Amino acid sequence: MKMSLWLALILSQLIDFGSSEFPNLFVNISDDEPWISTYLPEDDRIRSVLFYTEYGGDRCPIYDYMLDPSIADPWAIGEYITNDTRILKITAVIETNQNETMIESLRMSFFEENKVFIKHLHNFLPSSGESLDCENLRSSTKYCLPSISHHGGQAINCSGRLLFSESFEDGENPLHNWKHVVQSQLLEPHYEGVAFVNRKANSYVENNMLHLKVTKSNYGSKNPFYLENCTYTKSDSNQRCGEKKYRLPFRKFMPPFDSAKLISNETFKYCRIDIEAKMPIGDFLFPGLTLTSAHHDAIRIAIVRGNKKLTDFASNEIGGTTLYAGAILNDNGGRTYELKDFASREDHFGNDFHTYTAIWKEKSITFKIDGRTFAQISNSTVVQELSRTERHIELYLTVGGEYNFPDNRVPPEQKSYRNFETGLSSKIKKAIANSPPWDQTVMVIKKINVYSTDEYEE
């Protein structure tokens, strides 16, 4: 049985707020639950409320800031009452839409037999006697910091809210939030050795995890290279989608490998994205975790080259023990923008699951690995360039490519072929055949969360 006390209503008349006639603090106490709620009724004059709760003794006071009128009971806090609770002093600092500030305060005294006395206070100043070492901001679900994020064309009100969550639950259609890209990646601007296909062998969900897998293709006279339901629609589509009838001169357009690429239905602008994934291991395998626009420019959340060891022209290690991040920009038909800062490990990033994070804001894009920042795009031209539209999440696994293993970065003794040479398909095939066998031909993705963000998130 629930019983509410309305003592506060009576006592509130003792306090004079002048002309404002502002509603005062109410208290709900229930018989059968150890919770007391203190609240202001909904009132569209209120913009925000800061609650300040003192407990007496040496327990730290707690702040609770509320700024979101759209939720249920927007201006309420709950206090858990134990046998030891003797006193609670609650102060509410109310900010109105007229830029007025008001303070309300009440004290609850707890006695034997569950008796509670509530008194509204004229002395509104917080009254911490001794200086305690207290730095507590209560983390409240009602806390609303204004957000800069957009999701599906809508501005989001509060920062830190979960906008999208994907954990690939097994079931009828675990990929219902995603679309397959179907096309060859051999031509410009990619120069990659795969066709992205929509087949179970290359993309599947197992143990509630998405697997994207590279397999050898076997296109030829008996199995012409022809991608049904190809998603590439421009005029040279036969080179990227294949032809139903086998022709010998067409061999150069046949990718040596099949793989998969998924695009999220949902789009975002300014957000924090966390992806928990295990990267592939093997020469020239390349996993893609990006935020990509309709114009194909991309924020690259993680760049982990599959090679166990790989050095660039400047003798930097750029194989799978180093993690980079960056972007693909749209100038001159596609340009990679890879940040110099990186994170490195003793072992390959593909040996374990890690959480790869990007925090995309108006002035910077920050990249993290397992919660630790390792790189940031802070060039405002680049950030603005990348912030024109909302972006899809893209997940893919590919082989080689000018964006991933640029000719001007990877010397010939490290990569036996050049991306712009003719006969790229057979050259990639040969280079892979002459490399050690791939250890792990799959990228595994466990979880993706996207949150709204604000300019202050770090």
Where in 372-431 is the site for ligand NAG (CB under 6 A)? 379, 381-382
Q: How far is the CB of 30 from ligand NAG (least distance, A)?
A: 9
Interface pick for ligand NAG out of 109, 128, 157, 376 (rule CB under 6 A) = 157
Q: What distance, in Å, lies between the first and last C-alpha atoms of the chain?
A: 46
Output phi, psi for 367, to 5 deg.
-120, 135
User: Does 316 contact ligand NAG by CB under 6 A?
Assistant: no
Residues 5-34, mask of contacts with ligand NAG (x by CB under 6 A): -----------------------x------
Q: How far is the CB of 31 from ligand NAG (least distance, A)?
A: 12
Q: How far is the CB of 294 from ligand NAG (least distance, A)?
A: 15
Q: How far is the CB of 168 from ligand NAG (least distance, A)?
A: 14
Which residues are within 8 A (CB) of 279 and not within 5 positions of it... i.e. 6 or more apart?
287, 302, 304, 306, 320, 348, 349, 350, 443
* % helix, strand, coil for the chain, step of 5: 10, 40, 50
Q: Each residue of 353-370: b (16+ CB within 10 Å) or e?
A: bbbbbbbbbeebbbbbbe
User: Does 179 contact ligand NAG by CB under 6 A?
Assistant: yes
* Nearest residue to 247 (alpha-carbon basis) of 270, 273, 208, 219: 219
Q: How far is the CB of 446 from ligand NAG (least distance, A)?
A: 20
Interface pick for ligand NAG out of 42, 228, 347, 421 (rule CB under 6 A) = 228
Where in 61-100 is the site for ligand NAG (CB under 6 A)? 69-70, 73, 76, 83, 98-99
Tell me how far apart the alpha carbons of residues 392 and 297 are, in angstroms, rounded to a whole number.
11
Sign of the CA dihedral 216, 222, 227, 228?
Answer: negative
> With CB under 6 A, what is the number of residues at the site for ligand NAG?
24
Tell me how far apart the alpha carbons of residues 198 and 334 are, in angstroms, rounded to a whole number.
25
Query: Which is closer to ligand NAG, CB of 156 or CB of 310?
Result: 156
Q: How far is the CB of 133 from ligand NAG (least distance, A)?
A: 26
Q: Which two tokens stand for residue 120?
A: 């509204």
Residue 250 contacts residue 225 (beta carbons within 8 Å): yes
Q: How far is the CB of 293 from ligand NAG (least distance, A)?
A: 17
Output phi, psi for 26, to 5 deg.
-110, 155
Query: Which is closer to ligand NAG, CB of 50 or CB of 127?
Result: 50
Q: How far is the CB of 73 from ligand NAG (least distance, A)?
A: 4
Beta-bridged to residue 122, according to DSSP, are none
Interface pick for ligand NAG out of 7, 8, 36, 39 (rule CB under 6 A) = 39
Q: Which stretch binds ligand NAG (CB under 6 A): 130-138, 172-180, 200-208, 389-397?
A: 172-180
Tell me how far apart the alpha carbons of residues 193 and 258 are, in angstroms, rounded to a whole number.
8
Query: Which is closer to ligand NAG, CB of 198 or CB of 441?
Result: 198
Binding positions for ligand NAG, rule: CB under 6 A: 4, 28, 37, 39, 69-70, 73, 76, 83, 98-99, 154, 156-157, 176-177, 179, 198, 228-229, 265, 379, 381-382
